Structure 1
């Protein structure tokens, strides 16, 4: 009976036996193929990374050429300049002046400055009007 079953299943008996619980028969050729496949995938990934790095280096060279041509700082140079600017200590008197200039340069600062000028002009005109009213005599 066993022989008839083997004959009916053909070469599929090994596959069926491998799927049965408790029986773990590893085909050495299959293990070797899997190992080769994993190695091939790792090699392909390394090649892809090398290719990408080569392309990125070429792009960075082009970017640097443009930066040099138009005198643009690279992101690293900008970050270094900002960090250096933050590390510089400013005397207290000058810091206040710098803050005032920053406020004056902003849109809100400009609006506040115009409002102050308008209030001063309105107060001046009100004084002049009150002075004329006080000097006016009705007979």
Structure 2
């Protein structure tokens, strides 16, 4: 009852001015420290989350491998690679095999790319090449 009387008489709590938009004592260093602490806490949470999920995924992979071993199932990547190898072997001498964009040995893999200026310099007469190089 005493508090109600003081509030009614105008005493009020000391933070009323701040709540109504009054000026606060702001310390830029304190705010900067709080922001750094918050960023560090977020980084730690993210690392903990990643560690947790990597551990869970490792446990799941162990279970998956146990099931694969039990039932003789191959991993998806291994099965796809094996199927691709079978397809390549079957279509090696076939007339209907898929055509490659560039046959092997026809590309310029080993050659260095020349710049346009080097190409143009090849076709210029000797004295003109000397003048341009200087």
Higher helix share: 1
TM-score w.r.t. length of structure 1:
0.48
